[in-house]
Amino acid sequence: MNQFMERAVELAIKNVHEGGQPFGAVLVKNNTVIAEGVNELHKNYDISGHAELLAIRRAQIELQTNDLAGFTMYASGEPCPMCLTAMYFAGIEKVFYSNSVDEAVEAGLGKSKEIYEELTKEKAERLLSMTRMELNNGQANPMKLWIEHSSL
């Protein structure tokens, strides 16, 4: 195990001792720790307060960028679908993790596995109902507005 994974696991262990879940994350670029995070669900009642997301947010604020190309995430647990998606959006290029989603299930933290399975289903078959609604007549279309503004 390398120093960055060791740190992610240390953060996770400390978080468990403080009443949180066993997840820690370290975001690295050029062998330098840029940001860290632990799950803060127990502190802030924020379902998006996952270790990886918090490390990403902190790095983006510190560096004033949304582009984290060239960064590597070290996580004590296999990232959930939400965190994985954020890493794709941010351009993170590598992820290393210690505990698997299946191990999380064994620990009673199986929501990630359920969601990964849900995402393989067609929209109509998913537990979460999603329905597209058309814009009202005359209402501005935000996507068209974006296209107009981004082509200036």
Q: How many domains does the chain have?
A: 1
How does pLDDT run across 59-109, given as a tens digit for each residue?
999 999 999 999 999 999 999 999 999 999 999 999 999 999 999 999 999
Residue 96: how many CA atoms within 13 Å on its side-chain side? Answer: 15
18 is catalytic: no
CA 95 to chain centre: 11
Length of the chain: 152
Task: Give mean pLDDT, residues 120-143.
Answer: 92
Q: 97 or 152: whose pLDDT is higher?
A: 97
CA 131 to chain centre: 25
- Rounded CA separation 26/33 (Å): 7
pTM score, whole prediction: 0.91
Q: Would you tell me how many other CB atoms lie within 10 Å of the CB of residue 152?
A: 4
The residue from 6, 10, 36, 52 that is catalytic is 52
How does pLDDT run across 11-47, given as a tens digit for each residue?
999 999 999 999 999 999 999 999 999 999 889 899 9
Domain holding 47, by residue range, is 3-151
Q: What is the CATH classification number for the domain harbouring 51?
A: 3.40.140.10
The C-alpha R_g of the chain, in whole angstroms, comes to 18
- Rounded CA separation 87/78 (Å): 13
